[in-house]
Chain A
Amino acid sequence: MDPLPALLVLAFVLLVHLTFVNINIGLGFLSVAARWRSKSDPKAEELSKHSVKFVAANEVVSGVYGTLITVILFGFWTGFVNVVVQVLFFALLISVIAIIIRLTSIAAYWYTWGRIGVNAHLIIGLIMAISGLFIPAGFRYIFAFMNNPAGLMRISPLEGDVAAALSNPLYPPLLLHTWVGALSIGFLAAATGFAWASKRSEYLRGWAAKTALVGALLIIPQGIVGFWYWSSLSSHSPILFNALNIGLISGVSAQTNVSHSFLAMVLIGLYLLTAGLIYYAEPSRIRLAYTLAPLSILSLYFGEITQNWGRMPYLILQGDTGLDVNLFVNKLVYIDAATIMIAIAPIAVITIGFVALLYHYLVKGFMES
């Protein structure tokens, strides 16, 4: 099977999945923050409730795409999945447990609303929000592993050290980078939504400004953690480090150049920081708020492209060399590129309709309330 269409299909489903997952992590915390705020400001309760409806809706989309990713991984990247399952067995367990807790706690948070005390309800909400952070805590091991395969002792016969895989030095900065980024994206997306809804509700203008501020300020720790991750790559994943620094650091060369997407991500981050602060200071500049959600998601895409395309032509990097992407693509059966891409077209069309309808309903309900 040709690896390029297999990569493009994986990239498509992964980016759609990550979009909703990232928005959702931030929205979960926002809902809890609004619920806490409702102790002194009763109007905030409705906002908290609506936020959790968006969380539930996003969870449907990310859940459906999570299923797609699993199927595409074992269909297209059969050999890779086997390596990951064997070596990162316990890391993946973190995600499995977190998914169970997350789904359970979203339902519990929703159905206990008004039936238990506010403080008890806030505790359930916190469990819901924090469990959202632990789902990527397992899956990010895979990305760290692809950049620096800690725990992979040999590939044939396959042998791994599970404990060593859990102590991957790239994992802590990558996970923190993911967490802070997700919180920032979630708050910035909410800022755009609140700004739009504030046309009907003056009350929401304040929330739009505050969420924009939080989302923007999170760019600062994101930059610090990003620098930590960037510098860790220089010692543990030199190929990726070089790929994203071509033209930015003299004397650096790599087979793949992702410095443009890396630079774009950084510049968008700086814009979001500035725009968020300006909007907080002048909430009447509503058009500025409209740029926050799409650009924060665009920065997520650039970040993922930088990291995942920067490894090419390898899928797993091993110091100054790597394991070629061709090694992992499914060779048990031949499927031509046209068939692969044709099947993705209806999925993309249906998804757009699906998401539009879902958001139309939710936004309509939000506006009407």
Chain B
Amino acid sequence: MADLPDAATCYELLARMMLIRRFEEEAGRQYQRAKAGGFLHLAIGEEATIVGTTSVMRDEDYLIGTYRTHGHAIARGTDPRHVMAELFGRVDGTSGGRGGSMHIFDREHRFMGGYGIVGGNLPLAAGLALASDYKGEDAVTVCMFGDGASNTGNFGETMNLAALWQLPVFFLVENNLYGMGTSVERHSAQTDLSKKAEGYGVPGERVDGMDVVAVREGVAEGIRAAREERRPTILEAFTYRYRGHSAADPEVYREREEVEEWREKDPTETFARRCLDAGVLGEREVQEARDKAEQAVVEAVEFADASPEPPLDTLYENLYAVTDTSGWYAVDERSPHPHRGEREDRMPDAARELAEAGAAYAGQPEGPRPNPAGRGDAQKGVEPEVAGEVED
């Protein structure tokens, strides 16, 4: 077992993992209350893989991930209030309410995005790394993706390019054993994902993704190889999500016992226990980290709740970097007289009325989610066991 780092680092690792855990639990609760919509993919159980990785990155390094990256952004330093506001679809969200849960982004902290297309972030990682190389910069790009993404064409294409061009990129497979509901054994002929890119020239290792210290060590070596030797490698971290693929997953593909088994290895609990046993942290510090996480998450919900809905006249904002051209960038066809979409703030009254009429269909954001299972009562704060809305 890898040695524990110093006390301050241990505290930081524990605090970050606890914050992500509490954030995700609360996100799930807010989803049940219909404060957050769409799909919600929670990373509960995967905290050690996330925090272990980001804890050995430099500020200038890039991180790019998947659609399950609330925690990744937070681990990178994004204010949880802005992540929660994004889940709520509000103006103070990381993407001003345009991206949602699957598309968190924070340039300031070089978190280069969550992406909704499985495997879609891999080529982007190669591009970020190419840019660093091109500019003669030291930054490394850390690309995280799931076991399912290893089956996409982008995986092979990107591994080949990364090795061919000796790009400063490091790949981390968050192997949580399922590509949505299909187990690794049922989706990948090569189940040792650390070997899957070997033929492309990207060698790999495996690590216990529930052990934050082990992840740190494995990632540190991978980042070092990328930074110093321009040698891309892959690390397969075994981890587990306690919750379903998304908030609307009935979990028919796995046994309750399996979930319980993994819960025994809980990354926050085992790490806290280890730090206590080793005398590196005391009970008071562990409690303090827990309290701070609780407080940050309560604040995040309050902040998100108070943040305004995006104004209708920002509908076309940031679609284009608009110049002084006289040409039409976007056409708004929702009114009898089409007008230029990118100038939505100057939309004619008739169009404004129609836009408002459309927005009215958003309905009441305050109500609880329908709960056909009949269990729980969101209004009274009792969580139902299954989400009322089923995704496609």
Do chains A and B interact in one complex?
Answer: no
